[in-house]
Amino acid sequence: MTTSILQSLAKSDADLHALLSAVYASSPYGEIKLIDAQTQVALEELEHQTQCIGDEMRELDIEGIARAVKRKQEEALKNMS
């Protein structure tokens, strides 16, 4: 019974989404924007910069960096003794 209720709700939700898409398809209100154009441009630039930083981070040799840090820590401990 629960499954049939969930399926019915899912179908109703999909139907509602299809209806709203059809109604707003040719409407300037079809896309919701809560910010002005200048803020949108700034957010898109920030998103682009964040993507570039993420790409650069994926290229880092994390294991190599970890080995170098561990080696420096061991050297520092040895020098303290």
Return the domain boundaries, the chain.
Answer: 1-32, 34-81
Give 4's pLDDT tier (boundaries 50, 70, 90). confident
Query: Which pLDDT belongs to residue 40?
Result: 84
Average of pLDDT values for 74-79? Answer: 94
> 13-72: per-residue pLDDT in tens?
888 888 877 776 665 665 656 677 888 889 899 999 999 999 999 898 989 999 999 999
pTM for this prediction: 0.43
Number of H helices, E strands in the chain: 3, 0
CA–CA separation, 22 and 16 (whole Å): 10
Query: Which pLDDT belongs to residue 36?
Result: 79
